[in-house]
Structure 1
Amino acid sequence: MMSPARPARWHLTSLWGPVAALLVALAIVLGGVSPASAHAELVSTDPEEGAVVETAPAEVTLTFNEPVRLTSQQIAVYDAEGDPVDASAGANGPAVTVTLPGAADLADGTYVVSWNVLSGDGHPISGALTFSVGAPSASVSAPPAPETSSWAVEVVRDVVTVASLVGLLLAAGLAIFLARVLPGSWDGTDTRRRLRRLLTYAAGAGAAGFVLQVPVAAVYGQGLELVDVVSAFDAGSVLNELVSAGLVLLGLGMVVRGARTAPPDPTDRALLLAGALVALLGPSLVGHTRAFAPAPVLVAWDVIHVTAGAVWLGGLVGLVLSLRALAGREVLAAQTLSRFSTIAAFALVVVSAAGAFLAWRILGSWAGFVETAYGWLLLAKIGIALVVAAIGGWNRWRTLPAVQAAAGFGDRERAAAAVTRTVRVEAVLLVALLGVTGFLVNQSPRPAPVTVASGATGVEAATIGDDLRVLAVMDPRRTGTNTLLVQVQDAAGDPYDPPTAPTVEVRSDELDLGAVAVRSIAAGTYRGELVVPRVGEWDVQVSIRLSRFDNPVTTVTLTIRP
């Protein structure tokens, strides 16, 4: 007869698994944002954004923070009126070079380089670079917007990503659970059969998801639709996705081969662990960890990050399917839960060490939490983690006392059921967490790039004399040092060289900055430097000596912003 006073000691250990898993989850969510979510960024251009150059450059260089690829949408150059300019482009690592074969024939004015490239993870990014030759144009027309895939493609992409992550992490996590957590001395044929069946289904979903990601990435990266998948497929543009899918398929195949209804022997255990590791290497190949230094360390961190998620998800699901069957088997249950606790605690230490730093580095600033869709999704992950923390508190102060007071088979059975329910809720929350992560990895952690809009460029004009006019602009139009550009044009709008350089003076209602020394930089175009001490309207007075008796004067009013 079973003594009713005998406490179920294994239940004291049972909470260490969920508690350690909770800590791992919080570390992953609050600190461990994988660098695989960060997209390429434009870090420099030549000429610089808004620059005014004396002669048209033969090449324009765009430099990104990681290697990029060109898409089927060509990089295009437009003049101020929106008319295309002959150009060609090529990519070499992080640099994209735009060649202007007719640079010598480009007229003075503003030009826009509209670019569209592919990040290392297959995400298209776009933007525009504006520069001026001689002097800026009075207004600029916005270039055509790059083609983007419809919402249907984005929905399919997100669904496939979520299915891939859940399937991969669940299959790999169950493999680790079978190999390292569930005691080999316990046959548990029915439980092992259920675990193997679930592992097989999860592996199938993960493998199918990663295979489908290849054609979806091909059309999404080119801004096309699903019906274009055959014509748009280019193995070179999705090489990383192909290798990633290959690793996942290989690893999950090994996992399915090693999962049996009987306790695993050394060969099966090796297949389970090696297959899980190979499969979990796949996502790092389509991420951006290679763009951060030191790349090998951060790629390893990326693998550890997804491995920790697999340990938690697979462990919790494994516990849900095993705890009830282990009720009354104190030694085996304690061994199972202590092993899971040890693995989860190790994952906690590793993930916590680098998580907070990487989250801050990817977002770039704390403001990124509320200024980007990426930040809001990250806040959603944190919110789910807080719910999991509340469940952990419930376990500590309500479930644990009930477990400690359990006596007799019936009480132990009910206590095991209570623990199983809370673990099951945590597993469901992790699936939700992975769903948010699936959308998160498809979002850029940076604000959308600034595009050129039609409108004023800060250039103001005034007539001078009978058939001339003067254009003037300051750059950057803010307090402090500014570059003043003045251009004289004839009635046809072409630059006009007066007999002598114009005299330029700058003043406001309260301050007179006096004459500004200007020098000729191109036909009819003059440049000078000055320091503007305050915001507001400033009058630029230009006088031109056309002859001994003809010295017309005009004033152009420019606005200096804060």
Structure 2
Amino acid sequence: MTHITGRWVRSVLALSVTLSLSWLSSAAAHAFLVNTLPRAGARFTEAPQELALQFSEAVSPRSAQVKVRALQGGPLEVRELHPGADAQNLLATLPPLKPDVYVVSWQVMADDGHLSSGEFAFGVGAGGAIPGVQDNVDGVPLLWVTGSALLLVGLALALGGWISERFVWRKQGVPRAWIGVGAVLAVLGSAVHLVALAGSGPRATSVILTSRPGVAAGLALLAFLVSACLTRGRFRGWAGLPMVGGALAVTWQGHLGNAETFWLTPLGLAHLLLAAVWVGALVHFGQVTWVRRNVAWSDALRRGAWRYAKLAAWSVPPLLLLGLLLAWSQVDAPGDLWTTRYGQLLLAKVTLVLAALGLAVLARSRLVPARTAQPLRLARLVLAEVGTLLVILVLSAGLVNATPPRALTAANILSAAPPIGPAVRAADQAGSLSVYVLAAEGDLRVEVVQPTGKPGDRTRLWVNGEAPGGAFTLPLRSCGRGCFHAPFGWKPGETTVRVKATDPEWPGGTAEVKLRWPPGPDQTAQLAQVVKAMKHAGTFDVTEQAPRSLDPTPHTFPLTAETLAATDVYVGGGAEDVREVGRDAQGYTVLSLFVPGSSLWYELHVDGHRRIRRERIVGPGYGVNRTIEYPQLLEDGSP
């Protein structure tokens, strides 16, 4: 029995590790909004007449819901919602729009049956602040999780129990496996998925009857129902066959059934079947050991334990290989483990897997001395492990409905949304890359722009610094094209932020900025006074230096107010986050501002006559320091 016990324990250990990777691969695809017309956050002088939405995956037009409302009014009628050039695009006709800010709310069902929703805004005319892009793709829908949990647990109990009855215990007078209970749970899980699909849009019947998720959920329900009926009579030995068909329908219903790579579907099916067989067989083994807990080891129990160990040993290699093959690329960065719902569920699951490992080690230490006595300790440990693994299945149901971090990163290709609430910015260069750091309530955002003006989509960042509360290091997540952010609790005072940036196309480096919190009042009116004063400044001398350019030598040249207006973009309007950030050593007022359309950040040092004495400019691929000298001023401030 020592040999049998050792094999059984090794199988349990290996499969417990495997479960930490299980079901990662079947994480559901969500339809991300990747492009819009009108563009999110844009402002138009003429009202757009058409609405176009582009998603990362094919969506069902019948289930789509798009609503438009005015911030200063009520909902508007959206007419003729129909597919665009392909299944990833939706088009609609907008009614005539008056000057206002308009919010577009959308909800779509991806081709795998999972819902995504969100909203964005655009403006017509000059008034009103435009809200940012919001979506719920990082959420975990409770109804879908409930259905998936019932399906996974039911499939494991039914299919694994059926395999255990027929091939492990072989009618040796042991308790029957819970095949019927598992089949009923699987039926309920499929029914819950159908209910979720029915609530996905106004044409629920059409969605269920014509979409792949609806047809697959219906076929799965039928297969599991047939299996449940077979368990009640003399055809119990055939109950597992419809279960395999139901598992195929479940795989086809999910993301792997919609995979562009054809071999992912059979691999996903094999992965699901192997995991279900092992968990269900372990549950049945727990039933047997618990019923026989007060009986000494018998030859029948030894033979059953040996066959179970053999089944587990044969299941380990393919299950482990498939788990690694299908799951290795789901997490984009270590920080995603605690900053995303997917990562948090994964951490909880791994914690339980470690608990299962502990139970397996404990079982090994107690199995050997208990093998000649009553197997009560073994029964208790096996049941504890069964309970742990069933909880892991429930967490797996959350994982298959959560969006993997890499999917979030890949699909967030909208430009960064405007910050919510007051914000202050600073900028610097990191090699050839321009780095813009934004401080908003509870959030630190970094945007990267290449010298070409394009966002740094493939840039990698590392952020650390010193705050009034001490040093910090932050893991970042994507918030749009070339945009990265992390939750951050700003403390009153000055915070130094260092950003190390690397990019496969451009030389990187380290940028360092200083941000003062909290942001002061908006100083757009003061900036307007500066612009007015500079327009009457006449001719002045400018000393300009680009410290990180090929020619860092300072150059001095005369400049007129008209020329300055042509080079300083904010003179024409459009500046955001205009803040007073302090005073310099000469007592000049320091203003910080950002022009988003041109990715230009300015730091202006303004004297008592509202004239710029120094300015720092960071734009795509360059950083410039300027010092301005004026002719002798008269007492009234005029030259």
Instruction: Give the structure-2-normalised TM-score.
Output: 0.58
Residue 253 of structure 1 is matched in structure 2 by 226
Q: Which of the pair is proportionally richer in strand?
A: 2
In structure 2, the residue matched to 1:95 is 88
Q: Contact 1:312/1:344 (CA < 8 Å) preserved in 2?
A: yes
In terms of fraction of residues, the more helix-rich structure is 1
Indicate the percent of aligned positions where both proteins have the same amino acid: 22
Change (3 A) 1:515 1:289: same
Q: What is the CA deviation profile of residues 239-287 of structure 1, one whole-angstrom value per residue up to 9, with x for unaligned ones?
A: 52453243244245336526879xxxxx865x24423311222322331
Superposition map of 1:14-163 within 5 A: 14-30=5-21, 32-45=23-36, 49-50=40-41, 59-70=50-61, 74-77=65-68, 87-88=78-79, 89-91=81-83, 94-100=87-93, 112-130=103-121, 137=126, 139-142=128-131, 158-163=145-150
AA in 2 matched with 1:68: V
Alpha-carbon contact 2:105-2:119 (below 8 Å) kept: yes
> Is 1:176 equivalent to 2:169 in the alignment?
no
Is residue 2:257 matched to residue 1:290?
yes
Give the letter aligned to residue 285 of structure 2: L
The separation in 2 between residues aligned to 1:47 and 1:143, in whole angstroms, is 14
1:225 is aligned to none
Aligned position for 2:247? 280
8 Å Cα contact 2:207-2:214 kept in structure 1: no
Match for 2:363: what amino acid? N
CA distance in 2, matches of 1:143, 1:71: 27
Query: Which SS does the other structure have where 2:263 is aligned?
Result: helix
Q: In 1, Cα distance between the equivalents of 2:281 and 2:381? A: 14
Deviations 1:470-492 (A, max 9, x none): xxxxxx99796669xxxxxxxxx
CA distance in 2, matches of 1:246, 1:391: 38
1:351 to 310, 319, 326: 319
Post-superposition offset of 1:40: 2.5
1:407-486 correspondence runs (5 A)? 412-414=372-374, 416-446=375-405
For residues 379 and 327 of structure 1, the distance between their equivalents in structure 2, rounded to whole angstroms, comes to: 40
Query: Larger relative CO (CA 8 A, sep 6+): 1 or 2?
Result: 1
CA contact (8 A) 2:251 2:268 kept: yes
CA distance in 2, matches of 1:214, 1:334: 44
Deviation at 1:162, TM superposition (A): 2.7
Counterpart position of 2:172: 188
Counterpart AA for 1:247: A
How far did 1:170 drift?
A: 0.7
What is the alpha-carbon distance in structure 2 between the residues aligned to residue 529 and residue 516 of structure 1?
16
C-alpha separation in 2, matches of 1:509 and 1:479: 26
Partner of 1:213: 193
SS in 2 for 1:30: coil
Structure 1 CA distance for aligned equivalents of residues 380 and 194 of structure 2 = 38
User: How far does residue 68 in structure 1 lie from its aligned partner after superposition?
Assistant: 1.5
C-alpha distance in structure 2 between counterparts of 1:366 and 1:290, whole Å? 29
Shift of 1:13: 0.7
CA contact (8 A) 2:51 2:94 kept: no
CA contact (8 A) 1:116 1:146 kept: no
Deviations 1:295-339, CA, capped at 9 Å, x for gaps: x32222332232233122211122123346596443x44543343
The CA RMSD over aligned residues, in Å, is: 4.9
**CA 1:40–1:517 in 2, change beyond 3 Å: closer, same or farther?**
same
Q: What residue identity is the alignment partner of 2:190?
A: F
Q: Which residue of 2 aligns with 1:310?
A: 276
What 5-or-longer segments of structure 2 have no aligned partner? Answer: 425-446, 455-538, 546-558, 569-594, 607-614, 621-639
Distance 1:536 1:125, change over 3 A: farther
One-letter code aligned to 1:236: V
Contact 1:61 1:95 in 2 (8 A): no
Pairs within 5 Å for 1:341-380: 341-356=309-324, 358-380=326-348
d(CA) in 1 for partners of 2:452, 2:542: 16
1:236 aligns with 2:207: yes
**In structure 2, do the counterparts of structure 1 residues 482 and 49 end up closer, same or farther at CA, with 3 Å as the change threshold?**
farther
The CA deviation at 1:178 is 1.7
The alignment status of 1:299 with 2:265, answered yes or no, reads yes
| Partners of 1:361 and 1:141 in 2: CA distance | 36
Deviation of residue 217 (structure 1)?
Answer: 3.9
CA, structure 1 residues 75+560, in 2 after alignment: closer, same or farther (shift >3 Å)? Answer: farther
Q: Deviation of residue 195 (structure 1)?
A: 1.4
> 1:115 & 1:529 partners in 2: Cα distance?
26
Deviation of 1:26 (Å): 2.1
Aligned to 1:201: 181
Q: Which amino acid aligns with 2:11?
A: A
* Distance (whole Å) between structure 2 residues aligned to residue 214 and residue 558 of structure 1: 59
Contact 2:64 2:109 survives alignment (8 Å): no
Distance in 1 separating the partners of 2:616 and 2:255? 45
Name the structure 2 match of 1:497. none
| CA drift at 1:73 | 7.0
The AA in structure 2 aligned to 1:140 is A
- Residue in structure 1 matched with residue 351 of structure 2 by the alignment: 383
Structure 2 CA distance for partners of 1:382 and 1:87, relative to 1, 3 Å: same
Deviation at 1:203, TM superposition (A): 1.8
Q: CA deviation at 1:44?
A: 3.8
In structure 2, the residue matched to 1:546 is none
2:472 maps to: none
The CA distance in 2 between the partners of 1:508 and 1:85, in whole Å, is 53
Question: Structure 1 residues 327, 232: CA separation in 2 closer, same or farther (over 3 Å shift)?
Answer: farther
Counterpart AA for 1:341: A
Structure 1: tracts of 5 or more residues without a match: 1-8, 223-230, 262-266, 407-411, 459-475, 484-504, 519-526, 540-556
